[in-house]
Every structure is written in C-alpha cells, then in structure tokens.
Amino acid sequence: MKRYVALLRGINVGGNNKVEMKKLKVMFEDMGFGDVSTYINSGNVLFSAAEVVDVTSIETEIEKTFGFFVRTLVREKKDILKIVEAVPAAWENSAGQKTDVLFLWPGYDSKKSIELLKITDGVDELLYEAKSIIWHIDRKDYNKSGMNDFIGTELYKNMTARNINTVRKLASLLEA
C-alpha cells in the first residue's frame, strides 16, 4: 500500500464550492481507499491505495457526491517528502514571509513552467521540485513581486496551491 494525498482545487473559498470534510472522507472510504483522513478545510485528503490512483474516478465521485466538478490532483507521499526536503528550513509562511507550493497539473508539471511566471529579481525566489514550483517572498516586498499578476494566467488555472506550513504538516501526517 502506498500513501497519497489528494489536493482539491478551489473548495470552501469565500463560501463557494462547499465540501464537508467528513462527507469527503466517507466518499474516499466508499471508493475503497484505506487509512483515509482529511487535513483542514481546503481539501487535503490523505489515503492509502494498493494500485495506481485514477484521478478521473475521484473527480467523478466528487461531482456525484457534492453536485459540482472539482479539479483534483493526487501526489504520492514520496513527492510531498521531496518538496519538504528541498525547501530551505528558514522558508515559512508567517507574518514576515510567504512560501507557497504550486502543485502543477499534467502538461505543466515540468521545470519549464517556471518560464511562464513573471518574477522580480531579488524579490521572488522560485524552486522546482517533484512536479511543483515553490515560491518564496518576504512579505514586505510583496507589492514588488512579479507574481502579483499570476491570478488568471494559464499556469494559475493548471495548479493548486498550499502554503509551506500545510505541506510540511501533510508530510508529517503521511509519515505517521
């Protein structure tokens, strides 16, 4: 059995696309996945599976269960651990810093996707690891960031983001 995390995009934001985590957990269990748990309300489902996970079947079941389509990305435990190992320990999500992990959809899950981002030298710091881009910035420089124009771009529509604190917590839960 391998451990995975399903990352749901755009749920429970601003009162839209409401997904109850208890109901989501039961749905994953009913699909035959084991050791199912959820972490925070942003759509992180940890589970075990013996076979390759069919993301399309998860998306179909979410739509049947909740009445709307939710793009979903599944990552293996090893990918989450690689990301956590690659991010400098000093990078965090705090009052002084912002560090986000952009999990990329197939077709965008290569280092070349960094070229689709506008960045400001000396302000934005980017790393690529395990089909993800890690973006780090000091919050005091946020208004200088080239990433301010990111929302609505092609890459933005083909990723889901989590802050580094959430990703580190997911890694620890996958390890437990």
163 contacts: CB under 8 Å, gap ≥ 6: 93, 98, 99, 100, 101
> Do residues 9 and 84 touch, judged by C-beta distance below 8 A?
no
Kindly report the three-state secondary structure assignment for every residue of 99-111. EEEEEECCCCCCH
Model-wide pTM > 0.85:
yes
Ramachandran bin of 131, using left for φ above 0, alpha for ψ from -120 to 50, beta for the remaining angles: left
Question: What distance in Å separates the CA atoms of residue 124 and residue 142, rounded to the nearest whole number?
Answer: 9
Structure tokens, 83: 């990301």
Q: What is the pLDDT of residues 100-142, one digit of tens each?
A: 999 999 999 999 999 999 999 999 999 999 999 999 999 999 9
Amino acid at 170: L
Q: What is the mean pLDDT of each run of 10 residues along the chain (176 residues)?
A: 95 82 97 96 93 93 96 97 97 96 96 92 95 96 90 92 97 95
Q: Where are any strands of DSSP class E within 50-142?
A: 72-76, 97-104, 125-129, 132-138
> Do residues 100 and 28 touch, judged by C-beta distance below 8 A?
no
Helix ranges, 90-139 (H): none
Structure tokens, 77: 């435990």
- Which residue, among 117, 89, 93, has the nearest Cα to 104 in the 3D structure? 117
